[in-house]
A and B are shown apart, each in its own frame.
Chain A
Amino acid sequence: MAKITVNFERCKGCGLCATSCPKKIVALQKEKRNPKGYFTAICTDDSACIGCAMCAMMCPDCAIVVEK
């Protein structure tokens, strides 16, 4: 059991998290822009998350909290 929580307000949609996810389950969503106008990162498959925190380590804005 592991999960990531992306801070919707803080995420700038740079996509660096997505490049680092070994499970390829972090991506930028295309539905809702945050107040700054960015499409933010989401986890596309919560059940597959292993809580490795590689997405969070790559995030320049400290916008990802990881639980395990």
Chain B
Amino acid sequence: MAVVFDRPKALCDVPMHYCPGCTHGIIHRLVAEVIDEMGIEGDTIGVCPVGCSVMAYDYFGCDMIEAPHGRAPAVATGAKRAKPDSFVFTYQGDGDLAAIGTAETVHVATRGENIVVIFVNNTTYGMTGGQMAPTTLPGQITQTTPFGRDTSVQGFPIRVCEMLSTLDGTALAQRVSVDTVPHIREAKKAIRKGFENQKEKRGFSIIEVLSTCPTNWGMSPVEALDRLRAEMMPYYPLGVYKDTSVKEEK
């Protein structure tokens, strides 16, 4: 018998600190698999956010830089502009990317910065214990919306892919999910496309991954995936919002 599935080389062989059933681990693995398949680990620089994935620098085998909260796109810009031949990606959560780092996110996209942003949307601030995120759904109960998010008070969630797809610098804006094996396969394809865009210097790529937070949602990992499908997907529809590589091929 031969090994048909094992840890990708670009994912360090260490235990990850994530809670049981948290889908961060799946998304990490997909990024590492793409890096392996393209053979680019030695030329890749990853940028971690502040949030649950703050310690992702211990998990990816490539060189890593830890950014201040929300500033990963700016840090990635600095790294990419200094080393234009390297592959640069950020890995960010919703609070990091769509609240404190909104300006950096919008401008890295509109500059058409040749980087890949992996955006993990789980509708909450996980690391600090489950507060309202910019992506928290209307009515969703969090530590800071104990009676549910009231849109007349806290406003509405941000749909990041839709927003960034309006910018000329964006080459790829795609929302994927990791709730089922077919969706995982699709997510990996999208991440691969992001890194290919970087290689072809097409511009900015964002892959938004719908993710779960069983701990702060107060659910089992399996129930959390059910909630992702039932509540998140209708508000955050999966799909390709912009893909300039398609036009190029025609």
Q: Which residue numbers of A lie inside 8 Å of B, CB to CB?
A: 1-3, 9-10, 12-16, 19-20, 38, 51, 53-54, 56-62, 64-68
Tell me which of A12, A16, A38, A57 contacts B225 (CB under 8 A).
A16
In the bound complex, CA of A17 to CA of B22 (Å): 13
Taking CB atoms, residues of chain B closer than 8 Å to A10 are 15
> With A12-B21, A60-B23, A60-B24 as given contacts, are A66 and B5 in contact (CB-CB < 8 Å)?
yes
> With A15-B222, A16-B225, A20-B180 as given contacts, are A59 and B2 in contact (CB-CB < 8 Å)?
no
Report yes or no: B5 in contact with A60, Cβ–Cβ below 8 A: no
Report yes or no: B20 in contact with A38, Cβ–Cβ below 8 A: yes
Tell me which of B4, B15, B222 contacts A19 (CB under 8 A).
B222
Report yes or no: A12 in contact with B20, Cβ–Cβ below 8 A: yes
Taking CB atoms, residues of chain A closer than 8 Å to B26 are 57-60
Not counting A16-B225, A20-B181, a sample of 15 additional A-B residue pairs whose C-beta atoms are within 8 angstroms of each other reads A1-B1, A2-B1, A14-B20, A15-B220, A53-B5, A57-B26, A57-B185, A59-B25, A61-B16, A62-B25, A64-B5, A65-B3, A66-B4, A66-B6, A67-B2
Taking CB atoms, residues of chain A closer than 8 Å to B220 are 15
Q: Verify if B210 is at the interface (C-beta below 8 Å from A).
A: no
A-B contact count (CB 8 A): 74
Q: Which residue numbers of B lie inside 8 Å of A, CB to CB?
A: 1-7, 11, 15-16, 18-26, 29, 180-181, 184-185, 214, 220-222, 225
Q: Is the interface of A mostly helix, strand, loop or mixed?
A: loop
Report yes or no: A53 in contact with B221, Cβ–Cβ below 8 A: no
Taking CB atoms, residues of chain A closer than 8 Å to B6 are 65-66
In the bound complex, CA of A58 to CA of B180 (Å): 7
In the bound complex, CA of A14 to CA of B225 (Å): 12
Give min CB distance, B218 to chain A, whole Å: 15
Give min CB distance, B6 to chain A, whole Å: 5
Taking CB atoms, residues of chain B closer than 8 Å to A66 are 3-6
Tell me which of B1, B16, B185 contacts A67 (CB under 8 A).
B1
In the bound complex, CA of A67 to CA of B5 (Å): 7
Give min CB distance, A47 to chain B, whole Å: 14
Report yes or no: A61 in contact with B25, Cβ–Cβ below 8 A: yes
Report yes or no: B29 in contact with A68, Cβ–Cβ below 8 A: no
Tell me which of A3, A16, A68 contacts B222 (CB under 8 A).
A16
